């Protein structure tokens, strides 16, 4: 199923059989006609999932990821367009947005049978899908540097791939996200994100849906919609337009944390209207640029789309984006200490009201 409206997708294969999709604002870009002339090794074997009975969570074990590319110089970036002298993961000499299967996936392949069902901790193949999303061919750029029209292409790619991965055998949840900055573990500087097709519903989503179900039974209302309503006219709003509101949540865990909600209750990105997709870019870009302006240095962050699982909790879910940064001062980071790492009990050094005020007052 395709969700594309004003954006066009063309598809080809890389030398080892992985899929590559180009997303363009114009039809018939011709990018898919460029062949991948590299000689690549066989794709890595499917990893393994092990069940943690104490936490009721699955942990993926993907040992092949130890050899993944780590902070190469710009001249060796695998996400830049190919040139006459160097072939990369993207064979075309230029692109708008490119999405391809990860060379070092945490999850890959169709659903498989249980490997070991003995004892309290069964194991099974880490089936699913991992894709890389290249937001721009410009290596030295960032998402915050994009124009709204470019963000629209990214949005269409997210929605299209969410719909496609949701139809894969064994995928239970689709997660679109971006990691930015070495401070939070980025291994490639080129502006990019990832999409995971998980073979389970993630612990964070299960916990939020349980809270939403309790709220619905108690009040008859959707929890996420009530959170948005409570924040929309408050002092923690950072940016807004007719279709989206960005705010610092009242119980933010991180020094700088911003949630971005559409004003309509939809389960996932494919369900967003054409107007909502168009209106997302201006608000999100304002948030990113304010984050960078707070201290005058690039803000490291994790930006995560929360979408409904494929088969459960769809009525309870409310698609929205959550972004957080570990930077608490120009030269200081928040590290997860004993309380956060061991107990999951967060202590924030900046009040959410102060963080929202700093973001609103940042000079763009």
Catalytic positions: 192
| Dihedral of the alpha carbons of 25, 18, 200, 221, in degrees to the nearest 10 | 0
176 is an annotated ligand-binding site residue: no
Per the CB < 8 A criterion, the answer to whether 42 and 53 are in contact is: no
Q: What is the DSSP letter of 58?
A: E
For residue 152, what is the enclosing H or E element?
A: helix 148-166
> How many C-beta atoms surround the C-beta of residue 139 within 10 A?
15
- The single residue listed with the structure tokens 């999405």 is 99
134 is an annotated ligand-binding site residue: no
- CA 123 – CA 49 distance, rounded (Å): 6
Q: What is the DSSP letter of 42?
A: P
Grouping H, G, I as helix, E, B as strand and the rest as coil, residue 116 is: strand
Total residue length of the chain = 364
Grouping H, G, I as helix, E, B as strand and the rest as coil, residue 307 is: coil
- CA 153 – CA 160 distance, rounded (Å): 10
Per the CB < 8 A criterion, the answer to whether 103 and 26 are in contact is: no
Pick from 326, 66, 348, 353: which is nearest to 183 by CA? 326
- Strand partners of residue 81: 90
For residue 352, what is the enclosing H or E element?
A: helix 352-361
CA distances from 170 to 12, 206, 271, 358 (A): 24, 17, 21, 44
Grouping H, G, I as helix, E, B as strand and the rest as coil, residue 270 is: helix
Binding site residue list for Zn(2+): 77, 80, 139, 190
Binding site residue list: 77, 80, 139, 190
């Amino acid at each position: 199923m395709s969700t594309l409206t004003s954006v066009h997708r063309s598809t080809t294969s890389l030398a080892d059989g992985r899929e590559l999709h180009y997303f363009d604002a114009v039809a018939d870009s011709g990018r898919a006609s460029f062949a991948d002339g590299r000689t690549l090794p066989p794709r890595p074997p499917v990893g393994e999932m092990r069940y943690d009975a104490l936490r009721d969570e699955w942990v993926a074990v993907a040992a092949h990821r130890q050899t993944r590319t780590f902070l190469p110089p710009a001249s060796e970036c695998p996400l830049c367009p190919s040139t006459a002298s160097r072939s990369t993961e993207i064979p075309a000499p230029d692109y708008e947005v490119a999405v391809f299967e990860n060379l070092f996936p945490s999850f890959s392949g169709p659903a498989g049978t249980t490997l070991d069902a003995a004892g309290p901790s069964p194991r099974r193949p880490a089936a699913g899908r991992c894709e890389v999303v290249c937001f721009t061919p410009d290596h030295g750029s960032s998402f915050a540097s994009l124009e709204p029209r470019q963000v629209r292409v990214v949005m269409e790619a997210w929605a299209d791939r969410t719909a496609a991965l949701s139809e894969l055998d064994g995928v239970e949840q689709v997660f679109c996200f971006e990691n930015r900055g070495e401070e939070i573990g980025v291994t490639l500087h080129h502006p990019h994100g990832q999409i995971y097709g998980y073979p389970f519903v993630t612990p964070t989503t299960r916990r939020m849906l349980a809270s939403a179900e309790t709220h619905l039974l108690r009040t008859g209302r959707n929890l996420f919609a009530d959170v948005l309503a409570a924040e929309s006219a408050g002092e923690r709003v950072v940016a807004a337009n007719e279709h989206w509101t960005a705010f610092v949540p009242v119980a933010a865990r991180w020094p700088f944390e911003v949630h971005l909600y559409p004003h309509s209750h939809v389960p996932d990105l494919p369900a967003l209207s054409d107007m909502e997709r168009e209106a997302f870019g201006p608000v999100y870009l304002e948030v990113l640029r304010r984050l960078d302006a707070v201290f005058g240095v690039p803000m490291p962050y994790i930006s995560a789309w929360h979408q409904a699982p494929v088969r459960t909790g769809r009525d309870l879910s409310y698609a929205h984006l959550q972004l957080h940064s570990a930077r608490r001062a120009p030269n200081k980071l928040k590290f997860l200490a004993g309380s956060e790492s061991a107990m999951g009990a967060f202590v924030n050094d900046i009040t959410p009201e102060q963080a929202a005020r700093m973001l609103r007052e940042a000079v763009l």
